[in-house]
Structure 1
Amino acid sequence: MAITGVGHSPVYRRPEVPLGPLTLDACRTAVADAGLTADRIDGVACAPRQPVPGRDVTYDGVDHVTADFVAGHLGLATTWRENVGGFLMNSLVAAVSAVGSGLCDHVLVCRSLHGPRARYGVRADAGAPGPAQFDAPYGIFVPGVWAQQWQRYQHLYGTGSREEMAALVVRARANGLLWEHGYWTARGAAPLTVEEYLGARMISTPLCVHDCDIPVHGAAAFVVSGTGHHDLPHPPAYVRGLAPAVHAEGNTLRPWPLEQEQEAGRAVARTLWRRSGFGPADVDLANLYDGFGIIAVVWLEAFGFCGPGEAFGYLAADPVPLNTSGGNLGAGRMHGVPHLMDAVLQVTGRSGPRQVPGAELALVSIGQQSGGGALLLGATPD
């Protein structure tokens, strides 16, 4: 299987435009990028769920988008369509499975993000049943849970100061300003400096505002195709490995302890390396999910680029090219879209000013360790 086409909408801070038209435009771009016409798309996989379910998420095509909406409005004669729980990783796995089983030839994978007009992370629960009784009354939610993980990391390893995290965040913004679909790029933002990072408004110690990906409103689409098609205008990005996260027993502890996420990440890495036959030394670039900086740190160690507690020293050296599109921190919270899309462009030699010379194998992780997964994209099928 391969990703043969990509498409991205404009990105807004708030819902100035309904998600439906943005998603359809991204889908049309992806189909054209793959050298196809709509009549050749026979599958659609969407992840309609939004980061804050139930808040301002009511109408299909306005604040979320389903596979039925896409297929109906594009007039697709689909043999399969799926609305997948979770986020981009799960819909991608479903699409690869549909193509690999012979159910479909070309599947559209869509991810649309709604930016509600509200304060993100506000808890207004009327009650706290079940496990929620241990966190809801205390306001423990995003982003505070990742502040706790970062503090735990500092306690365990004696490293990971804000000065050290600055290297990751400042680099993400610099890379993100080269990503044409980034929120900051479209607004002509200046590069972030270390001094600005260290002096920024604190959100939940040690997280400052720059440690949190900015919620945005936009859409993206990918075409997943079988590898027997030879009429493509661009080289395909071959799926060389795929490893979704598996929720092990006890993996629902709240609020996502660091050690739980570390073990979940190592489980994903073991599966990916074993099934693909590759290892970290084979990777030319790594686009690691970074909704918050500590998530990318945990992924970096889980994949074996360095040992536990060594990520910040690794980042200070000359690591593998990391988050070449800026990721979520440098481009906006598009839930893994910039990570995956630029990996496709990198291994097909279409990444423009971000291009890593000779990039043949890209590692991508999407989502947090216990709720996402990873894949490898290659320039060749084997």
Structure 2
Amino acid sequence: MVWVNQDKCAIAGVGATDYYIRGKSYPRTINEMVGEAILKACDDAGINVKQIDGFAYYSGAQMGYGDKVDTASLMEMLGIEEVGFTAALTSGGGGAAGAVGLATAAIQNEDANYVVTVMALQQYRQRLGTVFGASAPSPENSFLQPSGLVGPGHLMSVLARRHMHLYGTRREAFAEVVISQRLNAMNRPQAIRRNELTLDEYFASPMLADPLCRLDFCLETDGAVAWITTSTERARDLKQKPVLIHAAAHGGTRNWGRAFAWMGMPDPDFGSSGHKPIGDRLWQQSGLAPSDIDVALIYDHFSAMVVMQLEDYGFCKKGEGGEYVESGAIRYKGGSTPVNTHGGQLSEAYIIGATHTREAVEQLRGVAINQVKDAEFALVTGGPASLPVSGCILRRDS
């Protein structure tokens, strides 16, 4: 069944601050970075910031785990007089792609005309790498903390090891994700990591949570990214070529549930990203298949989750993600489906998934640094995390 909202809304503008190594954004405030990203997105779209009348957040409107944006405060800061919509998806980076659908719902329901989504991160107080260890005790944390599972990477390593056990996946597959994305970041001035990376250097990287080494972990960075969603009809009268929202889905199954903060999943969910129901819905909504995707922006907080998402979205069969990646299929040059052409969260910057939407828009406008020739469809995914997880398909306007 074709999605009722297919191609009726579009992303009309994107904006971003510089990206900073964790803590290096200080003395800037997070509100300052949020404001800069939103103003740049408005300028990119060719609208006045006072035309914004809706906010569609994800991660519960949290900017990381220590800051939270407030719509009223943003309205005061930006001079916005009135809004007709303000809402947020729950979870963390799992909702990154789903926020596109949330904005679409606001516009299609005629609650707002110009909806902004923004994500920012500033880690001078609490780094995300140890966030569970710093959290207050709870039924879930009381299981995790005594086990030494104090950060997302420690938890993700258990899922990665299970995938290796079930399917024979090798660390060489994780290495290929890291190395291929590093190659994509080398010519990007804003990328944090731009030095060439060899396989030997990957295997020499310190082991942080077996089988994941330091290079399997996403960057710890600060910055902000925002984008403006409006109706396709309005977007076609604006400054930039619109990028159409072709399909969007968020949710997930109870078996995935709290994901890597739970560890109660049965196989095959345990050795997965939890995204298969989202992938199934996207292909049904869009009438497309994985082979129709020209560029995939796959949430890469950890390299192993790229492998598992490629399986869950059907780019290869379950258990064959390692072989698929090792074949070179995800390479920008020579691959069948280029993945994370901006370098992703492993090499460019980690702003909780927002950089992926920015890259998808640039690819479909035809202005990306590592431009995929004639790119028409881009898949964007949200992080394998507690529900909801999410995905969307964006389309080049004809």
Offset at residue 67 of structure 1 (A): 2.5
Q: What CA distance in whole angstroms lies between the structure 2 residues aligned with 1:38 and 1:341? A: 19
* 2:57 matches 1:46: yes
Say whether the 8 Å CA contact 1:22–1:219 is kept in structure 2: yes
Decide which of 207, 210, 227 is 2:215's aligned counterpart. Answer: 210
Q: List alignment gaps of at least 5 residues for structure 2.
A: 1-8, 328-334
Decide which of 351, 374, 377 is 1:361's aligned counterpart. Answer: 377
TM, length-normalised to structure 2: 0.85
Alignment of 1:255-274 (within 5 A): 255=263, 257=265, 259-260=268-269, 262=272, 264-274=274-284
Say whether the 8 Å CA contact 1:65–1:112 is kept in structure 2: no
Residue by residue over 1:238-268, the C-alpha shift from the partner in whole angstroms, topping out at 9 and shown as x without a partner, is 0000011235367236137573363731100
Q: List alignment gaps of at least 5 residues for structure 1.
A: 58-62
Change (3 A) 1:268 1:127: closer
Select the structure with the greater relative contact order (CA < 8 A; seq sep ≥ 6): 2
Partner of 1:347: 364
Partner of 1:69: 73
Partner of 1:238: 244
Change (3 A) 1:372 1:256: farther
Q: What CA distance in whole angstroms lies between the structure 1 residues aligned with 2:203 and 2:71? A: 43
Q: What CA distance in whole angstroms lies between the structure 1 residues aligned with 2:251 and 2:189? A: 30
Q: What CA distance in whole angstroms lies between the structure 1 residues aligned with 2:63 and 2:253? A: 20
Change (3 A) 1:179 1:245: farther
Say whether the 8 Å CA contact 2:97–2:357 is kept in structure 1: no
Say whether the 8 Å CA contact 2:38–2:118 is kept in structure 1: yes
Say whether the 8 Å CA contact 2:363–2:371 is kept in structure 1: yes
Decide which of 12, 15, 25 is 2:20's aligned counterpart. Answer: 12
Change (3 A) 1:94 1:255: same
Q: What CA distance in whole angstroms lies between the structure 2 residues aligned with 1:125 and 1:231? A: 48
Change (3 A) 1:270 1:193: same
* 2:86 matches 1:86: no
Say whether the 8 Å CA contact 2:273–2:309 is kept in structure 1: no
Decide which of 371, 374, 379 is 2:391's aligned counterpart. Answer: 374
Offset at residue 314 of structure 1 (A): 1.4
Partner of 1:102: 110
Say whether the 8 Å CA contact 1:236–1:379 is kept in structure 2: yes
Offset at residue 118 of structure 1 (A): 4.9
Decide which of 244, 250, 258 is 1:252's aligned counterpart. Answer: 258
Q: What CA distance in whole angstroms lies between the structure 2 residues aligned with 1:360 and 1:123? A: 40
Residue by residue over 1:205-245, the C-alpha shift from the partner in whole angstroms, topping out at 9 and shown as x without a partner, is 11111100111111110000101123222211100000112
Say whether the 8 Å CA contact 2:178–2:215 is kept in structure 1: yes
The answer to which of 318-327 and 24-33 deviates more is: 318-327
The size of the alignment, in residue pairs, is 366
TM, length-normalised to structure 1: 0.89
Task: Give the alignment's Cα RMSD to 1 decimal.
Answer: 2.2
Residue by residue over 1:304-349, the C-alpha shift from the partner in whole angstroms, topping out at 9 and shown as x without a partner, is 1100121122123333111111111121221112211111111111
* 2:334 matches 1:334: no
Say whether the 8 Å CA contact 1:290–1:296 is kept in structure 2: yes
Say whether the 8 Å CA contact 1:168–1:293 is kept in structure 2: yes
SS in 1 for 2:342: coil
The amino acid of 2:107's aligned partner reads V
Alignment of 1:294-313 (within 5 A): 294-313=304-323
Partner of 1:60: none
Residue by residue over 1:326-375, the C-alpha shift from the partner in whole angstroms, topping out at 9 and shown as x without a partner, is 11112122111221111111111121x31100000001111116432100
Partner of 2:224: 219
Partner of 2:339: 322
Offset at residue 140 of structure 1 (A): 1.7
Partner of 2:6: none
Q: What CA distance in whole angstroms lies between the structure 2 residues aligned with 1:126 and 1:371? A: 21
SS in 2 for 1:304: coil
Change (3 A) 1:123 1:305: closer
Residue by residue over 1:24-56, the C-alpha shift from the partner in whole angstroms, topping out at 9 and shown as x without a partner, is 1111110010111123221123343244x3xxx
Decide which of 146, 154, 173 is 1:164's aligned counterpart. Answer: 173
Change (3 A) 1:379 1:129: closer
* 2:212 matches 1:196: no
Offset at residue 115 of structure 1 (A): 1.4
Say whether the 8 Å CA contact 1:64–1:113 is kept in structure 2: no
Offset at residue 77 of structure 1 (A): 2.6
Say whether the 8 Å CA contact 2:71–2:86 is kept in structure 1: yes
Offset at residue 128 of structure 1 (A): 4.2
Change (3 A) 1:240 1:250: closer
Q: What CA distance in whole angstroms lies between the structure 1 residues aligned with 2:377 and 2:238? A: 20
Partner of 2:35: 24
Change (3 A) 1:3 1:301: same
